[in-house]
Structure 1
């Protein structure tokens, strides 16, 4: 494993575009190798069910806000901002908790709290009492639990499968998430028309029981736990110093922030495109989400297959971000609903290639005792831009039309990939010249 101190850090910075070093116990894997591990199999099965409910909830929440505000894109952006704002303040602290506490027990507690939010919103909606400010408050509360839960869940992956299976497990996690993304939005669109958004929220709460059951059935003795990190002052600053000393991690995290904040805004932009550009109802919105999910599922399965070949390359991270930007611009220019929906498939495929490669690169390149804190920072940069992105996309759509959100997101993703890639190449050349100069002295 890489370390963040001394000569190892210097050696890493001199070769940014080479393969990351392989984990010390990398086994030969198949596409579904991690599913041979009982604890992970329980987690994966629960996630498949729970993620379907999560996507149904997402579609229902967006449509409820749209319904309550007369299809106001700014209101949709506000809801997204409130849901993701807690990530700015809590994800780093959640990373410290992940390194310090029992991740499995913490996940059980946080998943239960998230289900409670869905129950409250569902009851308010079914009873006819729901108002837009109720949704805003619950978005904020739910966002607090998500901000704490996500870094813990991300870093828990290595405890379930061991270091050698991280690449495969991360890819399979994405497959589960995106398989649900194919099913959830389409089902939600139909259910919203048949029975209303309130029932969808209650169904989501029920599906959360699946992942909680899986966590309860795990065998703690079979987890690959790292060393216990005792509570002490300065642990958060220690994690930030570790990342600051790794130029490769800084570059990847910066790229993730730029692409996520400006390019991955589909939570709001797809609803805007469906309702305001193509004048569709909830089922039309759900279909767009499903088409995007077909692409992301394909990308996740390809990532699981690629994990057999070893650790990812940094050039894959930057190259996929660049291609994603190009495809997002192309999708935004599509003239009809059908052509736009079809264009979302390759967008989703390349998006998932970028997300999985970036996530795996970060997890494999840090010390185990730092993984929770680094993944807390990763989730901060991945989700922390959403409070900016939500209002920004709403404003862009209101001022320049729904297509503008795709065009701006694509351009920003391309610029970020090019600029950061050139900076890394320049640093690599500079480091190589320094090594050569020392050798000639």
Structure 2
């Protein structure tokens, strides 16, 4: 949809009753003026607030991938144990399971920009702390676990806040394009971050990536401070945190689409590729070292970036459900090929295709979830996505460690590919509502069944 069409659609939907937060932010974006971008998929960057958010997140996300790569390498060097490397996933996952729903409920109740300023500032402190432990030579493996626990607790509030903020910075008619661009910045960070981490580890020190990541957070902090976001009128009396949390769960359960998306997301998170699996393959299967690990992860990022570019060129995908299922089948197939590759160049090529499939698959899952969620419930819906994606992905590193110890790294990847392929086949043949999902927005939203709170 073009910028002009987005402004017109937003204007037609304005009603005399109290506006939702998303409508208020969209009106603000419209007032700022929108540039025409070729292709139309870049139109959200014509809105000042979203452009600030996107650039700030691009820098910060690159720093995050730098630290994630360095953390895996540091922990494996300290322990020389696939199991202890995978165990770090428990500490990264537990706070997500414990606090993400609360974080999503908070995101629906408070000013989201302020919430993100707090979480991003806390992330600066945790990166500086781990960097200081490494550079002074006092770091031991359990320090990494503690820092992972702290970072995951911050993420339990940060991720739902981010996922529910960025759709409010553009008109609803440009939401799918904004989702694609948001995924693209993640994949761009995944492309450049690991490669930078590998160079920093090999040529500077293992401590350098943590300080670089700490600095990168100031890009998004500055962007948040520079945004011109109008105050949102209070929605009136709210229920308790517990009441609104339960209301969000009821809302998701009443949907014909959201439980299916969550189930597919959970399967990928448990059995898909992860940092631990790539680290083990780089060192023990392919013999590529730290710089090889960076190249493997960057290959995934490069393929994902190509997928994002394709989605931007294509614009709105009408048959979102069918496209998502096809991308998932491609992902499972390429993961199986990678499991049995012993050639580093071939592995790089296969991972590029895997990244392409992962990016397009993930973008469609996110788009379907965002379009099926009402604005007032967005924080809580996205907190569930965070739990089954980020939470289970972290926990999956334990599965990787155990499966690798029992069957070797190729066996672990094979199990994952077969599990994902089986679920995608079942969804394609039995989940008609998801397979036929084509709704561009409001038409398929679930009726409100519980107190919304927040907006």
Give the TM-score of the pair, scaled to structure 1: 0.86
1:96-111 equivalent positions in 2, closer than 5 A: 96-111=105-120
How far apart are 1:299 and its partner, in Å?
1.3
Q: Which residue of 2 aligns with 1:379?
A: 386
- 1:296-317 per-residue CA deviation (whole Å, 9 max, x = no partner) reads 11112222333x3355521122
Aligned equivalents of 1:125, 1:420: Cα separation in 2: 46
Stretches (4+) displaced over 6 A: 24-29, 426-429
Partner of 1:80: 89
For residue 192 of structure 1, report the CA deviation from its aligned partner.
Answer: 0.3
What are the Cα deviations for residues 286-336 of structure 1, in whole angstroms up to 9, with x where unaligned? 111111110111112222333x33555211222221221111111112121
1:355 is matched with: 362
Note the C-alpha offset of 1:410: 1.0
Separation in 1 of the partners of 2:83 and 2:276? 10
Is the aligned partner of 1:44 residue 2:51?
no
2:76 counterpart of 1:66: yes
Deviations 1:263-304 (A, max 9, x none): 1x3211110100111122111111111111101111122223
Q: Distance in 2 between matches of 1:428 and 1:33?
A: 28
Matches within 5 A, 1:396-411: 396-411=403-418
- Report the aligned-residue RMSD: 2.3
Residue 285 of structure 2 is aligned with which of 265, 277, 280? 277
Counterpart-to-counterpart distance in 2, 1:32 and 1:166: 11
Query: Higher mean Cα deviation, 94-103 or 176-185?
Result: 176-185
Greater shift, 182-191 or 203-212, is seen at: 182-191
Deviation per residue, 1:330-362 (Å, 9 max, x gap): 111212122111110010001111100000111
> Could you tell me whether the CA contact under 8 Å between 1:81 and 1:388 is conserved in 2?
yes
Aligned position for 2:226:
217
1:201-236 Cα shifts (integer Å, max 9, x gaps): 011000100010000000012x8x697374313111
Distance 1:413 1:230, change over 3 A: farther
Distance apart, 1:162 and its partner CA: 2.8
TM-aligned CA distance change 1:164 to 1:335, over 3 Å? same
Q: Which of 321, 343, 346 is residue 339 of structure 1 equivalent to?
A: 346
Please say if residues 78 and 140 of structure 2, whose CA atoms lie closer than 8 Å, have aligned partners that are also in contact: yes
Answer whether contact 1:100 1:230 (CA < 8 A) is retained. no
C-alpha contact (below 8 Å) 2:112/2:165 kept by paired residues: yes
1:87-109 Cα shifts (integer Å, max 9, x gaps):
11111111111111000010010
Comparing 193-202 with 348-357, which one deviates more in the overlay? Answer: 193-202
Q: Distance in 1 between matches of 2:73 and 2:233?
A: 43
Number of residue pairs matched? 401
Q: 1:140: Cα distance to partner?
A: 0.6
More contact order relative to length (CA 8 Å, sep ≥ 6): 1
| Cα distance in 1 for residues equivalent to 2:346 and 2:233 | 49
The 1:73/1:201 distance shift into structure 2, 3 A limit, reads same
Distance in 1, Cα, partners of 2:205 & 2:391? 31
CA gap of 1:128–1:303, structure 2 versus 1, over 3 A, is: same
**Offset of 1:49 from its aligned partner?**
1.2
Aligned equivalent of 1:7: none
Residues 81, 386 of structure 1: 8 Å contact kept: no
Quick check: 1:191–1:200 contact (8 Å CA) kept in 2? yes
CA–CA distance in structure 2, aligned partners of residues 255 and 112 of structure 1: 33
Please say which of residues 59-68 and 248-257 is displaced more in the overlay: 248-257
Instruction: Say which SS state the counterpart of residue 247 (structure 1) adopts.
Output: coil
Equivalent-residue separation in structure 2 for 1:160 and 1:293 (angstroms): 26
Residue 268 of structure 1 pairs with residue 276 of structure 2: yes
Q: Whole-Å Cα distance in 2 between the matches of residues 163 and 152 of structure 1? A: 18
* Cα pair 1:50 1:211 within 8 Å, conserved: yes
1:64 deviation in Å? 0.4
Q: CA deviation at 1:157?
A: 1.2
The superposition leaves residues 113-138 of structure 1 with CA deviations (integer Å, 9 ceiling, x where unpaired) of 11111000000000111110111100
Instruction: State how far apart, in whole Å, the 2-side matches of 1:387 and 1:195 are.
Output: 28
Offset from partner CA, 1:175-197 (integer Å, 9 cap, x none): 11111211111111011011212
Q: CA offsets per residue over residues 46-81 of structure 1, 9 Å max, x none?
A: 1111111111101110110011112x1111111122
Contact 1:99 1:373 in 2 (8 A): yes
**Is 1:160 matched with 2:172?**
no
- SS of alignment partner, residue 413 of structure 1: helix
> Counterparts of 1:229 and 1:158 in 2: how far apart (Å)?
23
Q: Is the 8 A contact 2:92 2:395 kept in 1?
A: no
Closer, same or farther: CA 388–184 of 1 in aligned 2, 3 Å: closer
Distance change (3 Å), C-alpha of 1:30 and 1:226:
farther
